[in-house]
Homo-oligomer: A and B are copies of this chain.
Amino acid sequence: MALIVQKYGGSSVADAERIKGVARRIAQAKDKGNRVVVVVSAMGDTTDELINLAYQLSEQPSERELDVLLSTGEIVSSTLLTMALRAMGYEAISLTGAQAGIRTDATYNRARILKVEAKRVVKELERGNIVIVAGFQGVTDDMDVTTLGRGGSDTTAVALAAGLGAEVCQIYTDVEGVYTADPRLVPGAQRLSEIGYEEMLELASYGAKVMHPRAVELGELFHVPILVASSFTDSPGTLIHGGVSMEVREKVRSIAHDLDVAKITVVGVPDQPGIAAALFEPLARANISVDTIVQNASINNITDLTFTVAKSQLEKAMAVVAPIAKSIGARECVSDAKLGKVSIVGTGMQNTPGYAARMFGILSEQGINIQLITTSEIRITCIIDESKVKDAVRALHRAFKLDIDK
């Protein structure tokens, strides 16, 4: 009897009818003889509504209180889903993150899971229950409620799967799996039936919204196979795992893109030790996430420093950087909010030269100017004009023969 962990996102449980639909899917898994643990997100826009309430009462709500408040969203959906299953005649029980043994540090709003003490979950499974766990939340050693931040419910699911030694962690969402490119941009994009952790990690980090990189990383660390599939259709989805066969180690597996890119360039910086720290430490303290950083080779000891941030953080980042740029003697500080990112990802690219050159050539043929380039072992990313991203993704998808009728 296999043990599986399933996770359903907020849009899958947005109202009573959808909750009943999810209950039927869970019942199918149970009917096949599996032991089933389900992690569930808050219904639809609940979390946003709760945040809105909090800001009506405080300009800067206490992080601890905000976590207790937000955790109620997932508790509500977990009980409703349990009721739906019981109404169908299945034995089921809801558990909060605390009851399910999701122990975290005390970093409110973005707590890290320290361990999973799944005693209670195991006991309820032994009693024959389907166990419905409120996602996105945990508890500190002092029994204070925390939330896990971005990708929280996915992370809960993978952590529980790891803690319980589940056969697979199934992430049900509003897409049918991982594609060779975003199907909304590229009509010929194909669903991948499987993908390796590393590739998925790069895709998720570079714009593919299907799963949060944090949960993928946890899956890799604990060797938990993760199936990403639709909660609305019966498409087989994409299995993320470590044992992807030799044959599917194609050169380029998928094209990721991200439209949320803004760039800041500090021009004419004296090239001396400590300059980078002087810039980036204050940004970190202001809780601004800096993505790509590029420093030009210096000429006459003067260099340019360029980095990217999310568009929503550009204004805040400029307010931090501008006075520092002045104080370290930089000539000026300029920004561009209309950028995008396009990446090609594939483990097959390792040790195979020429992919970067081919990518640049394809973009050049489309008349697309490359502003910044970053690479990893299995990824090449170009930052380009926002308006060119769609063309770039389509051209790359075609040129690397990822279209459905290749």
Name A's B-contacting residues (CB within 8 A).
16, 19-20, 50, 53-54, 56-62, 64-66, 68-69, 71-72, 75-76, 78-80, 82-84, 86-87, 93-94, 96, 98-99, 143-145
Contacts and interface: CB of A to CB of B under 8 A. Distances in A.
B83 A64 contact: no
Given A62-B83, A80-B69, A87-B59, A53 B16 contact: yes
A251 B59 CA distance: 55
Interface of A is mostly: helix
Contact of A72 (B72, B86, B93): B72
Given A54-B80, A57-B19, A80-B57, A86 B65 contact: yes
A20 B50 CA distance: 17
A403 to B, nearest CB: 44
Contacts of A76: 50, 53, 69, 72
Nearest to A69: B79
Which 5 A-B residue pairings sit nearest by Cβ, starting from the closest?
A58-B87, A72-B72, A16-B56, A69-B79, A58-B83
A116 B53 CA distance: 31
Contacts of A56: 16
Given A65-B79, A65-B86, A66-B79, A20 B57 contact: yes
Contacts of A144: 99
30 contacts: A16-B53, A16-B56, A19-B57, A53-B76, A53-B80, A54-B80, A57-B87, A58-B83, A58-B87, A59-B87, A61-B83, A61-B86, A62-B83, A64-B93, A65-B82, A65-B83, A65-B93, A65-B94, A68-B75, A68-B78, A68-B79, A69-B75, A69-B76, A69-B79, A71-B75, A72-B72, A72-B75, A72-B76, A96-B145, A99-B144
